[in-house]
Amino acid sequence: MMSQTVARIGQKQIFRRRLLPALPASIDNSFKASAFPQRFSFPSHYQQQRMVQGVAITNNCIVNTNPANGEIISRVPCTTKEELERLLSASCSAQPQWAATSLTDRIRFLRKGLEAIAAKKEAFIDMIVQEMGKPFTEARAEVEGSVSRDEYFRVLQDALEPKKRGKNCQVVRQPLGVVAILSPWNFPVDEILLLALPALASGNTVVVKPSEVTPETGAMVVETLSSVLPEYVVQHAQGDGIVGSHIVAHPLVSMVAMTGSSATGKKILQSCAASLNIKRLVLELGGKDPMIVFDDADLEQAASDAVTYSLSNTGQVCCSIERVYVAQRIYENFCERVVRHAETFKVGDGRDPTVKVGPMVSSIQRDVVKEHVKDAIEKGAKLLYESPPVTGGTFHPVTVLSEVTDQMKVYREETFGPIVSLIPFDGTESSATRLANDSQYGLASSVYTKDLAKAERVANSIHAGQVGINCYSIENMDVGCPWVGHKQSGYGYHSGLEGFQQFSVPKSIVLKPN
């Protein structure tokens, strides 16, 4: 069976045909449609037009548009039920041979896959900027960072190697089977690799469903990897949550790894609980990350970081700084510094190399941010700064709010936009800890003070997976550290020694003692 994507780049039309696997008869015949309950059938309205995350899906095709100008990039066919069943069957059939490949050779394959991505770096950067509006410099940083992983592979191999226990025991790690990866749009290259590389290194085969917001970037990642890996080891399906829900519930899928909203994570948990087989899960979910600025902090550094990591990727990051608590004694001074830094962030089309803040990914997300700002101002927040408006596209101005309170949406809900929210507090450790923990989320956080003993006390009291002391944690973490969400920010975890091991199961081999 054949599907076709029509991509418009400039004035040219590029037709990319993606062939589904032709399975050996023995495999094809062993996998009957009757193995699937009726609940796996696609709903009758699937062919009709609908909107998902601001993306139109018409005649079973994702209408892929540029958020900076509304131009159509491509129309990407959604994977059908029949295609999905054959794709997963092929993935299942390929898994034993891939698992039998040595760990060293699997990692050698993955290194070649990253080299292949690096060779197409400019094409990846261009597609990221087109599909999600990410500024050019940030798109380049994402792609270059994604393929530079020498130390990463060393830690990955160490995490998966057999380990001796005592004199007569050895713990080995075994793959799970087929791993489904549901990847987000905000880091469409890096987030696929964060989950796919450890899953593949562990001996699993992988099926990726990219976000419907960035379908072409996701397809490019998977197709580039698959060009150097054995056949069917890594594949992808396209579509929205309907396709994703069928993948999650499919009996051939042994594990689901997803980065996305907490609401979607809960739906996946429910679906897996009701599925025919017990599945393992890694879910990286939402955040509402706090930053604590004590009165003895380096104010210039803290102000710069508050702005940079509130606005990075147009604020569309699960670990964006969304609550900045500032000691009352330095509050006015700090607010002035924040505004000065915010004024340097130009909003516009990501293709302009001077732009630091691109469009929101969709009009729906832009309207969420607008509503948060409107609600805050109506409830007493002060608008300290708003960047000049940009016409066309789904742009939202850089906005600095002060006097934010816990009664405002911008305080309680994940905003996911280019907003800096400033909140005064009394400067004490107890208040800092209480306020930082005043959220259902617990992804990352940061503490700024020159008193390192105080910083460590507060860091240890904050309920979050990562805490940066005088820095933004994710920018400075060692590759051996896991990325963890506490509370409603995650289920399971990935990355680092501990995270790499989530994609396999340990088995103890015990020899009879002499």
Q: Give the whole-angstrom CA distance, residue 148 versus residue 150.
A: 6
pLDDT at 197: 98
Take residue 239 and report the two structure tokens written for it.
Answer: 């579509």
- Asked if residue 311 and residue 252 are part of one domain, the reply reads no
319, part of any domain: yes
pLDDT tens for each residue of 192-217: 999 999 999 999 999 999 999 999 99
Task: Report, as an integer, the average pLDDT of 397-401.
Answer: 98
38, part of any domain: no
Higher pLDDT, 397 or 43: 397
10, part of any domain: no
CB 373 within 8 Å of CB 387: no
HEC sequence for 12-66: EEEEEEEECCCCCHHHHHHCCHHHCCHHHCCCHHHHCCEEECCEEEECCEEEEEC
Q: Give the whole-angstrom CA distance, residue 258 versus residue 72.
A: 27
- Asked if residue 316 and residue 281 are part of one domain, the reply reads no
pLDDT at 42: 52
- Residue 388 is part of a domain; what is its CATH number? 3.40.309.10
- Confidence tier at 36 by pLDDT (50, 70, 90): very low
pLDDT tens for each residue of 330-387: 999 999 999 999 999 999 999 999 999 999 999 999 999 999 999 999 999 999 999 9
- Asked if residue 369 and residue 258 are part of one domain, the reply reads no
- Asked if residue 348 and residue 256 are part of one domain, the reply reads no
CA quadruple 152, 309, 349, 220: dihedral, nearest 10: 20
Q: Give the whole-angstrom CA distance, residue 466 versus residue 419.
A: 22
Task: Report, as an integer, the average pLDDT of 214-238.
Answer: 98
CB 295 within 8 Å of CB 329: yes
Q: Which of 83, 138, 216, 284 is catalytic?
A: 284
Tell me the pLDDT of the chain averaged across its residues: 91
Task: Report, as an integer, the average pLDDT of 490-507.
Answer: 97
491, part of any domain: no
Is 104's pLDDT higher than 80? yes
- Confidence tier at 48 by pLDDT (50, 70, 90): low
pLDDT at 22: 46
pTM of the model: 0.91
- Residue 228 is part of a domain; what is its CATH number? 3.40.605.10
- Asked if residue 295 and residue 278 are part of one domain, the reply reads no
Point out the domain boundary residue: 250, 265, 285.
Answer: 285
Point out the domain boundary residue: 285, 304, 338.
Answer: 285
344, part of any domain: yes
4, part of any domain: no
- Asked if residue 370 and residue 417 are part of one domain, the reply reads yes
pLDDT tens for each residue of 115-165: 999 999 999 999 999 999 999 999 999 999 999 999 999 999 999 999 999
Q: Give the whole-angstrom CA distance, residue 316 versus residue 396.
A: 12
Point out the domain boundary residue: 243, 260, 285.
Answer: 285
pLDDT at 50: 66
- Confidence tier at 56 by pLDDT (50, 70, 90): very high
- Asked if residue 241 and residue 113 are part of one domain, the reply reads yes
Classify residue 506 as exposed, middle or buried by CB count within 10 Å of its CB (0-12, 13-18, 19+): exposed
Task: Report, as an integer, the average pLDDT of 427-452.
Answer: 98
Q: Give the whole-angstrom CA distance, residue 396 versus residue 391.
A: 10
- Asked if residue 85 and residue 179 are part of one domain, the reply reads yes
Q: Give the whole-angstrom CA distance, residue 313 versus residue 358.
A: 7
- Asked if residue 342 and residue 217 are part of one domain, the reply reads no
- Asked if residue 272 and residue 307 are part of one domain, the reply reads no
**Of 251, 316, 305, 260, the residue nearest 88 (C-alpha):** 251
Q: For residue 185, give its domain range.
A: 76-285
Picking from 12-16, 181-185, 398-402, which range would have the lowest pLDDT averaged per residue? 12-16
pLDDT tens for each residue of 252-286: 999 999 999 999 999 999 999 888 899 999 999 99
- Asked if residue 262 and residue 116 are part of one domain, the reply reads yes
Q: Give the whole-angstrom CA distance, residue 111 versus residue 149.
A: 8
pLDDT at 38: 37
**Of 228, 219, 202, the residue nearest 79 (C-alpha):** 219
Q: What percent of the chain has pLDDT over 90?
A: 88
Q: Give the whole-angstrom CA distance, residue 138 versus residue 134.
A: 7
Establish whether 284 is a catalytic residue: yes
227, part of any domain: yes
Q: Give the whole-angstrom CA distance, residue 237 versus residue 219.
A: 8
425, part of any domain: yes
Q: Report the domain count for the chain.
A: 2
- Asked if residue 420 and residue 278 are part of one domain, the reply reads no
